[in-house]
A and B are shown apart, each in its own frame.
Chain A
Amino acid sequence: MHEVSLIEDVIALIEQERARQAFGRVTVIRLEVGALGHVEPDALRFCFDAVTTGTIAQGSRLEIELIPGEGWCADCRNTAPLDDRFGACPVCAGSRVSITGGDALRLAEMEVE
């Protein structure tokens, strides 16, 4: 389950942030998860408490904002919502669709004390 190592990476980013600006503890962690990305939000939530225990993020709340998928079609030149990473263009059913949104996994922000 690679969500475990992704939460570890989130903790590493938080530690880097703490080196830049001092804070005592993290109360809320907000992630942006792309609907077309490699991450399952439920799996992130499932392992979150276990992975953050004993770290700067222990006891914090995980909030996930799901970023909808979006693609640009080289056939009809439309940008349209995309439900499936390898799906056909929802406008013209063409297959030359490039993902333009909903592919990332980002630590958007956090609340700290």
Chain B
Amino acid sequence: MCSVCGCGTESLVADAPAFLKVAAGQSNPGLSQTRTIRVERDILSRNNALAGANRRRLREAGVLALNLVSSPGSGKTSLLVCTITELGGRWPMAVIEGDQQTSNDAERIRQTGVQAVQINTGKGCHLDAHMVGHALERLSLAPGGVLFIENVGNLICPAAFDLGEAAKIVVLSVTEGEDKPLKYPGMFAAADLMLLNKSDLLPYLDFDVDACLASALRVNPRIQILTVSARTGEGLRAFYAWIDGRAALAGASAPMATDRDRPG
């Protein structure tokens, strides 16, 4: 009997990869109780299904979710604090913070008056859709709001895990190498927007901005790039305008549409 589907013919596995033929041999009655089950399922399907559920939930709530990714220390939390402080009156906002340990970042966000949920991943190197789904249960998400998800500082693993966000924003600071997009292309390819942060430090560094932008565009010709400084505020108006555009696209900022000029 065919060990693949039990259909009673040997011919189905004739052109199969070598390991299937071995499996077919092992299924001979009397030799072994072993049988082969074809599964053919994407291993990330569980995460992707949960991410899909998160995305539906956010869409129904009219919330724009943005997933911030970077290496540790690029300034994600500082950028969020600036954004919340500047735009707090414009959109209802909430933050999900992912770190291996501590709730330091969530506490920094809460000091601005915005609700924040901390996820500690322990040994894990990234947030996944399951964790974010449970974090969503702990937040009250207002229609027309913006949810920022600050991922674990890691330029590799978070690229593979959809959380249900509308877009990924990758933050790169000028104290890192300008070739980082080429060294960690997965993340830059997955992002819609790159924020080149800590621009106030450029006069003290040999960082080649043009080479960095060229690196990012090489791995992702569609990526949008803004040079910003959370410290001086340089470039942040353009970032706020980008969020505004995304919120409008998501249909999440309709109540605020008449207030478009204030922060931008």
Contacts and interface: CB of A to CB of B under 8 A. Distances in A.
Contacts of A77: none
Interface stretch (B55-63, B99-107, B153-161): B153-161
Interface string A1-44: 11011100110111001000101000100110000001100000
A86 B40 contact: no
Majority SS at the chain A contact face:
mixed
Given A5-B124, A9-B43, A9-B44, A112 B37 contact: yes
A106 B219 contact: no
Interface in B208-225: 218-219
Contacts of A85: 185-186, 189
Majority SS at the chain B contact face:
mixed
Nearest to B158: A2
B17 A65 contact: yes
B128 interface: yes
A95 interface: yes
Interface in A52-105: 63, 65, 85-86, 95, 104-105
A57 to B, nearest CB: 13
Nearest to B125: A2
Given A38-B186, A86-B189, A111 B36 contact: yes
A76 B26 CA distance: 46
B23 interface: yes
A45 to B, nearest CB: 15
B39 A107 contact: yes
Interface in B32-49: 32-47
B19 interface: yes
Listed residue (A10, A65, A85, A109) with the most chain B CB atoms within 10 angstroms of its CB:
A109
A101 B32 CA distance: 35
Ordered nearest first, which 9 A-B pairs have the shortest CB separation?
Answer: A38-B160, A2-B157, A86-B185, A107-B39, A105-B43, A109-B38, A86-B219, A113-B33, A9-B46
